[in-house]
């Protein structure tokens, strides 16, 4: 492998722009070589001030560019499959924002394509695994520090969603993070998903039922629940409480200075995921770059992308029928053991 990743960033929207800034200013061992966006002006604006980078509107052209030797995919999920297959065919390191693909069938095709390649090239952008508190809770669980983990309670709250954010996206775009987090914490696969729809806020766009309560079970019977509430107004909050045999651990609570002033007390709530998980994204991308330079993958794999896609599929079915829906997974290929 070369000494530096020359990265083509595909998609210069909210997440793509955030990754371009981090690759350009904070990440060692990688540079932005190309930015691709269907909106040529947005691609051009994204490479402003980045010497040697080119702005393009076609992902294939970027992957064929001799100056590019890695790809970061930050387009909406439904566009991932083709880009992933093209990048795998070129055998280059890939960081793919979540979801790997929007459904289990297409995610499985990606797993099979990587298996045929014979080595892992895809890292999926589940950044929470790189958050300090997530990592600390993961260690407490793995070291059995407080006995067996019994239950996980998750709160996932966003200030608001655009009108285009569908009911299914509460699962596919948001709870997909908890599916990965639960698999990460327990080291187990998720076996079933149920979704309960209770009283809804008037602040959700039409067609979206918000909040929702998602109930999840893992192989050994760990129960997890998620309050997914994406038009919560007050700010961005992602927190978890874990119940063990010998104690309870909470992560993701409010942080930062606690101020008393002008007759009020308290602190600030983060506005969005860029602030809440900024440090985790930096660690995630650095881990991808360092591993890629060694010819490895430095985080969640295509298998994790496939397994969470299967959970999402079960979750969307459960949204519709209110039943406990079984998650069906194919056998895990040896490449991911
Ligand atoms: C968004 O796409 C993310 O990945 C955020 O982490 C999540 O909190 C949000 O709900 C999603 O829409």
d(CA 94, CA 114) in angstroms, rounded, equals: 11
Secondary element (H or E) of residue 97: strand 94-97
> Atom 10 of ligand 1 has which residue's CA nearest to it?
174
Between helix 14-25 and helix 278-293 the angle, nearest 10°, is 60
The CA R_g of the chain, rounded to the nearest whole Å, is 20
Q: What is the pLDDT of residues 107-140, one digit of tens each?
A: 999 999 999 999 999 999 999 999 999 999 999 9
Per-residue pLDDT at 1? 54
Compute the half-sphere exposure of residue 111: CA atoms within 13 Å on the CB side of its CA: 26
For position 60, what pLDDT does the model report?
97
- Locate 298 and state its tokens: 């430095």
> Is ligand 1 within 6 A of the CB of residue 194?
no
Q: Does residue 155 line the site of ligand 1, with CB under 6 A? A: no
Task: Please answer whether residues 176 and 98 qualify as being in contact, where contact means their C-beta atoms are separated by less than 8 angstroms.
Answer: yes
Beta strands 259-261 and 247-251 are unpaired
Domains recognised in the chain with CATH numbers: 5-128+278-300 (3.40.50.720), 132-272+308-336 (3.30.360.10)
Q: CB under 8 Å to 230, separation ≥6 — which residues?
A: 157, 158, 160, 161, 165, 170, 174, 204, 208, 210, 211
Buried b (16+ CB within 10 A) or exposed e, 19-46: bbebbbeebeebbbbbbbbeeeebbbeb
| Contact indicator for 100, 305 with CB cutoff of 8 Å | yes
Q: Assess whether the C-beta atom of 276 lies below 6 angstroms from ligand 1.
A: no
CB 20 within 8 A of CB 32: yes
CA 161 to ligand 1: nearest atom: 12
State residue 254's pLDDT score. 83
Q: What pLDDT shows up at residue 213?
A: 98
The C-alpha atoms of residue 217 and residue 314 are separated, in whole angstroms, by 12
Q: Which residues of the chain have pLDDT under 50?
A: none
Task: Classify 58 as helix, strand or coil.
Answer: coil
pLDDT at residue 256, as a whole number: 86
Alpha-helix residue ranges (DSSP H) falling in 7-165? 14-25, 40-46, 59-64, 80-89, 104-117, 132-142
Structure tokens at 107: 């995610």
Phi/psi at 326 (5° precision): -75, 140
Q: Which two tokens stand for residue 302?
A: 């295509």
Task: Tell me how far the alpha carbon of residue 236 lies from the centroid of ligand 1, in angstroms.
Answer: 10
Distance, CA 313 to ligand 1 centroid (Å)?
17
Structure tokens belonging to residue 229:
């509430």
Ligand 1 within 6 A of CB of 174:
yes
pTM of the full structure? 0.96
Query: Residue with the nearest Cα to atom 8 of ligand 1?
Result: 174
d(CA 274, CA 278): 5
Compute how many other C-beta atoms are within 10 angstroms of the C-beta atom of residue 51.
8
Tokens 């067609």 map to which residue?
A: 207
pLDDT given for residue 68 in this prediction: 98
Atom of ligand 1 nearest to the CA of 238: 8
């Amino acid at each position: 492998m070369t000494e530096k990743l020359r990265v083509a960033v595909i998609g210069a929207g909210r997440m793509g722009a955030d990754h371009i800034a981090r690759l350009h200013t904070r990440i060692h061992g990688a540079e932005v070589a190309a930015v691709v966006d269907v909106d040529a002006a947005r691609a051009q604006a994204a490479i402003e001030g980045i010497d040697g980078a080119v702005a393009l509107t076609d992902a294939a052209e970027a992957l064929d560019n001799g100056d590019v030797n890695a790809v970061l995919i930050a387009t909406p999920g439904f566009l991932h499959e083709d880009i992933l297959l093209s990048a795998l065919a070129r055998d280059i390191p890939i960081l793919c924002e979540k979801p790997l693909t929007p459904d289990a069938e297409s995610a499985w095709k990606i797993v099979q394509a990587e298996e045929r390649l014979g080595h892992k090239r895809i890292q999926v952008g589940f950044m929470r695994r790189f958050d300090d508190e997530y990592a600390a809770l993961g260690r407490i669980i793995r070291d059995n520090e407080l006995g067996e983990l019994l239950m996980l309670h998750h709160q996932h709250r966003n200030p608001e969603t655009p009108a285009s954010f569908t009911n299914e996206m509460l699962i596919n775009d948001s709870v997909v993070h908890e599916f990965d987090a639960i698999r990460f914490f327990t080291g187990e696969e998720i076996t079933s998903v149920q979704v309960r729809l209770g009283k809804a806020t008037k602040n959700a766009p039409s067609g979206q039922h918000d909040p929702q309560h998602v109930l999840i079970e893992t192989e050994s019977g760990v129960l997890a629940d998620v309050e997914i509430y994406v038009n919560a107004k007050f700010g961005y909050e992602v927190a978890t409480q874990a119940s063990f045999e010998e104690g309870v651990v909470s992560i993701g609570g409010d942080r930062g200075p606690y101020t008393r002033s002008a007759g009020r007390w308290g602190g600030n709530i983060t506005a969005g995921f860029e602030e809440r998980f900024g440090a985790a994204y930096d660690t995630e991308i650095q881990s991808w770059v360092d591993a890629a330079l060694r010819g490895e993958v430095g985080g969640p794999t295509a298998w994790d992308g496939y397994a969470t896609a299967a959970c999402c599929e079960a979750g969307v079915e459960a949204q519709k029928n209110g039943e406990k829906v079984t998650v069906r997974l194919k056998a895990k290929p040896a490449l991911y053991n």
